[in-house]
Amino acid sequence: MAAHPTPTPGLARLDDALGRHGTLAALLERVQESRRRLDRLRPLLPPGLAPEVRAGPLDDKRWVLLVGSAATAAKLRHLVPDLQAAAAERGENQPIKVRVLPR
């Protein structure tokens, strides 16, 4: 059984503080949900592409996946219909958008 990583003390305090503030707690929950969604869909990504994709903003209108280059974005956009279908099977119906992170 693998050990869980030790949380960074400053980060643990930040998570606690965010969790106690209503608006910030909601933001933290959306960030965590975005990461969980990407974790569930990551097996559908080609091995070379998967490490390049980051979970981005999630709201009622869309879910954004972030990448580092236009070439990676183009490759990922070809997979969006399959990712969207897999997400919809879980009741996650927000359109998936791909955005390139600014340098």
Residue 1 falls inside a structural domain:
no
Q: How far apart are CA 30 and CA 86, in angstroms?
A: 19
31: domain CATH number is 3.30.300
- Residue 12: pLDDT band (50, 70, 90) is low
Q: What count of other Cβ atoms lies within 10 Å of the Cβ of residue 34?
A: 20
**Which of 10, 3, 65, 6 is closest to 34 using CA atoms?**
65
Per the model's pLDDT, the better-predicted residue between 26 and 15 turns out to be: 26
Residue 4 falls inside a structural domain:
no
Provide the number of structural domains found in the chain.
1
Q: Which residues span the domain enclosing 78?
A: 9-100
pLDDT at 2: 43
Look at the pTM and tell me if it is higher than 0.85: no
Extract the tokens encoding 60. Answer: 């009622």
Segment 29-61, tens digit of pLDDT: 999 999 999 999 999 999 999 999 999 999 999
Per DSSP, the three-state class of 66 is strand
Residue 3 falls inside a structural domain:
no
Residue 64 falls inside a structural domain:
yes
